[in-house]
Amino acid sequence: MKDERIEQAKNKIRSEITVIIFCGVAISFLVKMLVFNMNIQQCMTEYLILILSPLYQFIRMHMMKISIYNKQGNKKTVKILIVTIIFLVIAFFVNSKRYNSNGSIVFIPILLAAFVAIATFFIVNKFNKQMSIKYDDEFNDETDDKK
């Protein structure tokens, strides 16, 4: 028989190592793109990990009826928005220095990517808020039925 505390500790350790690996992949991707001037084809593995990992987490959490929304989400939303904007500004300046010599327009793809990222973030955040309310109602109904 396994102790539940041991299982929770193992799960916590696994989740922490996953975050560490994800951050390492993100740093690797940024270094390859910004320092070594590699293109996206040369960084495809990191790019796919960065895109598919949160997507898997989002889908899996909703399959298990776990919501990631919390009541203090507005402060986190602003912080994430600020970090996204700072990252996009840095990416714009790096790309404009790299590609501006041959006259290509780099501002429009970056602006489009920013719009898609921010719109997706707010849509997912609203969806999580609605699902959180639904899951809380389901949980409360189940606990009321057991009484």
Note the pLDDT of residue 94. 65
The upper half-sphere exposure of residue 130, i.e. CA atoms within 13 Å in the direction of its Cβ, equals 6
pLDDT in tens, 42-66: 888 988 888 888 888 878 877 887 7
Domain end residue (candidates: 64, 85, 113)? 64
Residue span of the structural domain in which 91 resides: 66-147
125 in Cβ contact with 69 (< 8 Å): yes
Number of domains into which the chain is organized: 2
Q: Are residues 87 and 54 in the same domain?
A: no
Is this prediction's pTM over 0.85?
no
Q: Residue 30 class from Cβ within 10 Å (0-12 exposed, 13-18 middle, 19+ buried)? A: middle
Q: What is the mean pLDDT of residues 99-126?
A: 65
